[in-house]
Structure 1
Amino acid sequence: MKRRVVVVLLFAFMASMTMRGQLNGYKYIIVPKKFETFKSENQYMTSTMVKFLFTQKGFTPVYDDELPADLANNRCLGLLASLSDDSSMFSTKVTVILKDCQSIEVFRTREGKSKIKEYTAAYKDALEDAFGSFDGMDYAYVPKEKETNQPTEQPITVSYKDDVKKLEEKKEVPVVKQVATTETQSYESVEPKTSTYTKAEPQQKTETAAKVSGLLYAQPIENGYQLVDSTPKVVMKLMSTSVENVFLTDYQGNSGVVLQKDGKWFVEYSEGGEKKLKELNIKF
């Protein structure tokens, strides 16, 4: 009996290491904003939840309409996530499936289950259960051999100013060293400096955020809160996550996250491919 248990555990460990090796060769997880099994975009906040959970597990998830340049040029850098929904009237059952650029299945989670009646909360609960398949995987992206042996992208031709061209014609040392590729943009002056040159202190970058005017009151609801103004009107709903002071929300038709930072509340969302941050005045 003990021998059988050891064999089963060894097999599970080897299977886990094999799956880890399979996923480590992919840099991104592509999350559709509308899964095929649903009628509308981000229905029951499934896309937001899947992207959030992949981030928690150490992956780099991106929405299917916001692909970074390297993934847009090489679709095989990422795996496409999809949902298999076998829900019934009495329970919610979902499985997360990952396929490569040739639509070949690479990984499938266990079936996550929930008996919560409210749909949004039920899918959140079932997805969290399904994502337990990634526990202990310790994912870390490792470029495939073909990728590491590929030549780097050809630099984009950038013309210098007229005075720099004249220096080049005279075979003098150029005063500008510039690199411009699709992944690297740098500009460095190598012109000799006099000893009296003093370097200015760099200005500290500060993250600024537009502030949403008006006080919002947090009212407890099932699995989170709803924020209402003084009218009172429901401005947005906050769905609790496993992370303290981090909530999922739908802000002005965009999937987002409400979180607390330095004692203040912010809503972070993506609009037109651009990430935006707004401060919220919330009273709990």
Structure 2
Amino acid sequence: MKIKLFFLGVSLLLCSVGYSQKNLNNYKYVVVQNKYDFLKEADQYQLNSLTKFLFEKYGFEAVLEGENYPEEMAFNRCLALSSDVLKDSGMFKTKLSVQLKDCNGAVVFTSQIGESREKEYKLAYHEALRDAFKSIAILNHKYEPKKVVSAPTPKVKKEEIATANNEKEVARLKQELEVLKKEKEASAKAEKPIESQPKKVAPVAKSLPAKAQILYAQETPTGFQLVDSTPKVVFKIKKTGRKDLFLVEGEDSVIYKQDNKWIYEYNTDAGVQQKELNIKF
């Protein structure tokens, strides 16, 4: 009976390790805290530095909290896990475990409890932490990007219908924007005093990103915000009834997709202008 229970325990452990390995391989980075709750100072006993070292030793790219994050991680925080070291109570032993959470705050992994009987704090914490990392070492972590399942290619007729509907929606919005522009101009003229000779005002050049500059789309409750590599918010756009058509907040303009290109269309004193954008969703 004891032998059966032993083999059952081993089987469950191997299954757990296999699942954790597959799950954690989708994460490339680990963010290590500067200070743990059970210590008084940042990196006290060099425990945080040791944590970073051990994560890097076992296949992760580790960064300390507050450091300059890699560009891909800055735009996609879900590539990274947040780590924490927890201390368990013990009369004669120092007990530590390592916990990993995803970008939504959900716990995705908790290590075994590492133990030490050392009396000197630094030696005890280091030994217990290394012992806890044994369960991370056996994962043989290797980053594997999540596979994106491509949607099946729709039939040509459906594509033609969708394109026609999209063009109609764009045309309708253009008409509404033109009407809105004329109403604003009429309202402005009514408020201005009559001048003997109207002054000619040159259209103000709009500061737009170069076509080659990539704008990254970050989802918001109403749509997206498009940021450059600074990162600086260049546009805030709202969703419409069409997935490839957006209204630009604070402007009489739209951004839509045409012939697999993103077009920014806006009104100026010289008329309707267009600019091609390089957007990554």
Q: TM-score, normalised by structure 1?
A: 0.50
Moved over 6 A (4+): none
1:31 maps to amino acid: V
1:57-101 deviation per Cα after TM superposition (whole angstroms, max 9, x unaligned): 121111111221211221111110011112446321111100011
- Structure-1 separation of matches of 2:116 and 2:7: 31
The reply to whether residue 45 of structure 1 matches residue 42 of structure 2 is: no
Alpha-carbon displacement from aligned partner over 1:205-259 (angstroms, at most 9, x marks no partner): xxxxxxxxxxxxxxxxxxxxxxxxxxxxxxxxxxxxxxxxxxxxxxxxxxxxxxx
Alpha-carbon spacing, 1:40–1:20, altered in 2? closer, same or farther (3 Å): same
**Separation in 2 of the partners of 1:62 and 1:111?**
23
Q: 2:237 matched to which residue of 1?
A: none
Equivalence for 1:9? 10
Aligned residue identity for 1:42: D
SS in 2 for 1:30: strand
Number of the residue aligned with 1:83: 85
Which residue, out of 57, 66, 71, partners 1:69?
Answer: 71
- Matched residue, 2:26: 25
Partner of 2:135: 133
Name whichever of 122-131 and 51-60 sits farther off: 51-60
Unaligned 5+ segments in structure 1 are: 158-180, 183-284
Secondary structure of the 1:145 match is coil
The amino acid across from 2:6 in the alignment is V
SS at structure 1 position matched to 2:134? helix
Asked if 1:156 corresponds to 2:158, the answer is: no
- Give the Cα separation in 1 of the matches to 2:54 and 2:73: 21
Number of aligned residues = 155
> Judging changes above 3 Å, is the alpha-carbon distance between structure 1 residues 155 and 23 closer, same or farther for their aligned structure 2 residues?
farther
Q: 1:127 and 1:79 mapped to 2: Cα distance?
A: 18
2:124 to 119, 122, 125: 122
Correspondences of 1:152-231 after superposition (within 5 Å): 155-156=212-213
RMSD: 2.4
State the partner residue of 1:102.
Answer: 104
Q: Structure 1 63/7 Cα, relative in aligned 2: closer, same or farther at 3 Å?
A: same
Structure with the largest fraction of strand: 1
Matches of 1:5 and 1:70, distance apart in 2 = 44
Q: Aligned AA for 2:35?
A: K
**Distance (whole Å) between structure 2 residues aligned to residue 28 and residue 97 of structure 1:** 14
Deviations 1:254-277 (A, max 9, x none): xxxxxxxxxxxxxxxxxxxxxxxx
Q: 1:115 is matched by which residue type in structure 2?
A: R
The answer to whether the 8 Å contact 1:87/1:94 transfers is: no
| Identical positions, percent | 35
Render the CA deviation track for 1:164-211: whole Å, top value 9, x for unaligned: xxxxxxxxxxxxxxxxx96xxxxxxxxxxxxxxxxxxxxxxxxxxxxx
Alignment of 1:212-251 (within 5 A): none
Residue identity in the other structure for 2:147: E
Task: Give the aligned residue type for 2:66.
Answer: D
Offset at residue 136 of structure 1 (A): 2.3
Q: Displacement of 1:7 after TM fit?
A: 2.8
Change (3 A) 1:147 1:58: farther
Distance in 1 separating the partners of 2:133 and 2:118: 18
Largest Rg, 1 or 2 = 2
How has the CA–CA distance of structure 1 residues 89 and 21 changed in structure 2, closer, same or farther, with 3 Å as cutoff?
same
Letter aligned with residue 113 of structure 2: E
Change (3 A) 1:101 1:148: farther
**1:77 counterpart letter in structure 2:** L
Change (3 A) 1:6 1:113: closer
**Larger helix fraction of residues:** 2
- Cα pair distance change 1:125/1:147, threshold 3 Å: farther
Query: Aligned partners of 1:62 and 1:3: how far apart in 2?
Result: 44
Q: After TM superposition, give the deviation of residue 135 of structure 1 in Å.
A: 3.0
